[in-house]
């Protein structure tokens, strides 16, 4: 009886310090198992650093952060790697080995510039034996800044790398035919109107959200050019957003100005 009570107390005590796998981690691991069917292999290339970044990378592998729960494994050969992690400044003596590691890794592959030195050369950027960051010679897909980056930033950067790797694995190569022509976005919208709508929307809402609002307006114009105002009004009634209403009203004014010029 006393033994059972003691075991229950030990289980409760240890459960307080157990690392809980969140829902996003489970979704990421499920995506890896579905799309790639195996673990992701990471190979590290030290181009001339102080070993601070290496310490943080291996700290991410410890049971405390446990990056292997995402299916990420460190390998000792670039021929087995899916992700290449370049640490340290790109020195003259490591330029050729870094390129050899890049060409040895099979496609598709992801290149990560790790740390301040790997991203830009860091404090050694102006030395006689330093070329700069890894992107001077390697096509970098992900930048993880920091001196050195924390294990949390390392895991976040690796998660981004896995997302890009999934996109590359699903990518297709298209060869344009002789008679094929690439159409611009919203081909039925006059170019002058499209430019003014995008400029005004980005001026009022910023680059990202302004682009999204402009796309919504231009989609409404293409779907029904004669009743743009009615289409936009029905959309605004569903959103109930005063700022969005203000921006859309201004875009309608820009549209009316173009109609008057025509």
**Could you please report the per-residue DSSP string of 219-260?**
HHHHH-GGGHHHHHHHHHHHH--HHHHHHHHHHHHHHHHHHH
pTM metric for this prediction? 0.57
Higher pLDDT, residue 12 or 91: 91
Say if residue 18's pLDDT is above 80. no
Rounded Cα distance between 103 and 70, Å, is: 26
Q: Closest Cα to residue 32, out of 72, 66, 64?
A: 72
Q: Which pLDDT belongs to residue 172?
A: 73
pLDDT of residue 32: 57
- Cα–Cα distance between 136 and 110 in angstroms, integer? 16
The confidence band for 139, taking pLDDT boundaries of 50, 70 and 90, is: confident
Q: Where are the domains of the chain?
A: 25-170, 191-261
Predicted confidence (pLDDT) per residue in 216-226, tens digit: 888 888 887 77
Q: State the average pLDDT over residues 136-145.
A: 86
pLDDT at 242 over 50: yes
pLDDT of residue 26: 54
Residue 189 has pLDDT above 80, yes or no: yes
pLDDT tens digits, residue range 56-81?
888 888 778 777 777 778 888 888 88
SS3 159: helix
**Of all residues in the chain, what percent carry a pLDDT higher than 70?**
84
Highest average pLDDT, of 27-31, 32-36, 183-187, comes from 183-187
Greatest Cα pair distance in the chain: 91
Q: Does 12 score more than 50 pLDDT?
A: no
Question: Which CATH number is correct for 25-170, 3.30.1370.60, 3.40.1160.10, 3.40.50.12280, 3.40.50.1980?
Answer: 3.40.50.12280
Cα angle, residue 40 at apex, residues 38 and 46 outer, rounded to 5°: 155
Nearest to 21 by CA among 74, 72, 66, 73: 66
Q: Please give the torsion angle defined by the CA atoms of residues 92, 94, 95 and 100, in that order, rounded to the nearest 10 degrees.
A: 160
pLDDT of residue 37 exceeding 70, the answer is no
Q: Which of 147, 84, 93 has the alpha carbon at shortest distance from 113?
A: 84
Instruction: Write out the H or E segment, with its range, that includes residue 262.
Output: none
User: Residues near 122 by Cβ (< 8 Å), separated by ≥ 6?
Assistant: 89, 115, 116, 147
pLDDT per residue as tens digits for the range 94-136:
888 888 888 888 877 888 888 888 888 888 878 888 888 888 8
Residue 26 CB-half CA count within 13 A: 4
**Ranges 3-12, 43-52, 69-78, 236-245: which has the least confidence:** 3-12
Closest CA to 216 of 206, 230, 231: 231
Q: Which residues contact 115 (CB under 8 A, 6 or more apart)?
A: 49, 52, 53, 87, 88, 122, 144, 145, 146, 147, 148, 149
Banded model confidence at residue 44, pLDDT cuts 50, 70, 90: confident
């Amino acid at each position: 009886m006393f033994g059972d009570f003691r075991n229950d107390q030990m289980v409760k005590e240890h459960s307080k310090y157990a690392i809980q796998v969140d829902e996003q981690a489970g979704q990421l691991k499920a995506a890896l198992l579905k799309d790639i069917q195996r673990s992701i292999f990471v190979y590290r290339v030290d181009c001339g650093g102080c070993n601070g970044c290496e310490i943080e990378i291996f700290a991410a592998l410890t049971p405390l952060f446990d990056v292997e729960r995402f299916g990420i494994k460190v390998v000792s050969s670039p021929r087995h790697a899916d992700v290449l992690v370049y640490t340290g400044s790109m020195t003259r003596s490591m330029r050729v080995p870094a390129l050899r590691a890049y060409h040895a890794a099979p496609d598709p592959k992801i290149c990560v510039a790790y740390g301040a030195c790997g991203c830009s050369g860091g404090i050694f950027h102006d030395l006689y034996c330093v070329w700069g960051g890894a992107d001077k010679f390697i096509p970098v897909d992900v930048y993880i800044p920091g001196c050195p980056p924390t294990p949390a930033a390392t895991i976040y950067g690796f998660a981004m790398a896995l997302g890009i790797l999934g996109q590359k694995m699903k990518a297709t190569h298209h060869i344009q035919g002789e008679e094929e022509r690439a159409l611009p976005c919203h081909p039925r919208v006059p170019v002058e109107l499209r430019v003014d709508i995008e400029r005004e929307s980005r001026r009022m809402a910023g680059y990202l959200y302004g682009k999204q609002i402009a796309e919504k307006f231009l989609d409404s114009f293409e779907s029904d050019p004669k009743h743009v105002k009615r289409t936009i009004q029905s959309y605004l009634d569903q959103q109930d957003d005063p700022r969005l209403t203000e921006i859309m009203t201004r875009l309608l004014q820009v549209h009316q100005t173009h109609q008057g010029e025509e």
